[in-house]
Amino acid sequence: MKKVVVGISGGVDSSVSALLLKKQGYDVIGLFMRNWDANLNNDTLGNPTLSNNICPQEQDYNDALEVCKKIGIPLKRIDFVKEYWDYVFKYFLDELKACRTPNPDIMCNKYIKFDMFAKYAKELGADYIATGHFARIKDGKLLRGVDNNKDQTYFLSQVSKEQLQNVLFPVGELTKQEIRKIALENDLITAKKKDSTGICFIGERNFKEFLKNYLPNIPGDVIDIDTNEKVGEHIGLMYYTIGQRRGLNIGGTKERMFVVGKNVEKNILYISYGDDSKYLLSDSCIIDNVNFISDLRPEKCSAKFRYRQPDNDVELKYLENGDIEVIYKQGVKSVTPGQACVLYLGEECLGGGIIKEVRKQGEKLWYL
């Protein structure tokens, strides 16, 4: 009997993953990862953020424990707090300091779930590891999940081809509706549990309040990029991302405004007015930290520059230093340094890179 260690998060997707593997005849072990010290999520009084007097992370563990008891599999718990801090959270802070927009979930998959987790699973004698990601692996290729609305290959784009060997994605062939139906039919406590959203270590807390604990606020001017006039003040460049239009707190106008750029040296936030600002459009970008899961190196494919964004037709120019120039002549809004650019050829996720610089007509956009 093949042994599989499945990551149990306390959510419905991983719960059903474990259930399906058990029904398929595997020797299944559940593994709950503690990646964040909940005591670091303090409110203004210095108290841990609680939900019904139970830390959300502990509630997830309790739910995972109930699921494993119901299925009839053991649940182990492992602490990756230090590793998460070193490989994911420090990266997150460094990117914010550089006024880029990072995606820590992508790095969590690369360094924690498909590295530290996999190594520990091997120590347990696992033939396979499994997670509740909406993705599929077929003939060594990483394919999108069947549920296009939930597909999570974007977040797997920095995982290596080697890391994806002996990996199972049990719910990749299912829709979210089908997963909840299976959970209900098998009386799993997570069947109706709300999906987690946002960044895992922040949880339901206010992003700005959380970040104050780690990075100082450095207020500065908000400048209208068209008139070069000051129209307000920002509370710190790290709190804003390209294309953002909510939470700017700039009075005196009823026009819609968007964040279009940042000047790190002068600590300036640039905004523009109107629904279709020309400053949000670019036609190419440079990506670094390139990771290919596929053996293919196409000249044309499609790309996502943000999760849930529609596919964009692109051309790829492979540069001598290993970077790639991604060209999208039709123009795309709000391509943002620090975010992932993920490449696809039909259903296959080829891999991707991190957006280093954004260009229009061959020139780097000065306000980025």
For the annotated catalytic residues, the residue numbers are: 108, 200
For residues 62 and 70, is the Cβ–Cβ distance under 8 A?
no
- The burial of 218, by beta-carbon neighbours within 10 Å (0-12 exposed, 13-18 middle, 19 or more buried), is given as exposed
The token duo for 190 is 């997570």
For residues 97 and 133, is the Cβ–Cβ distance under 8 A?
no
Q: How far apart are CA 102 and CA 107, in angstroms?
A: 9
- Cα angle, residue 111 at apex, residues 237 and 353 outer, rounded to 5°: 60
Q: How far apart are CA 247 and CA 17, in angstroms?
A: 38
Neighbours of 2 (CB within 10 A): 14
- Which sign, positive or negative, has the C-alpha torsion 356, 361, 366, 367? negative
Tokens 């207020």 appear where? 219
Q: How far apart are CA 103 and CA 156, in angstroms?
A: 11
Q: Under 8 Å CB-to-CB from 353, ≥6 apart: which residues? A: 287, 288, 289, 290, 291, 323, 324, 340, 341
Neighbours of 78 (CB within 10 A): 14
Q: How far apart are CA 88 and CA 102, in angstroms?
A: 10
CA distances from 293 to 161, 164, 165, 296 (A): 5, 9, 11, 9
For residues 101 and 338, is the Cβ–Cβ distance under 8 A?
yes
Inter-residue long-range contacts of 210-214, CB under 8 Å, 24+ positions, other chains counted: 210/41, 211/96, 211/238, 211/239, 213/40, 213/42, 214/93
The token duo for 14 is 């991983």
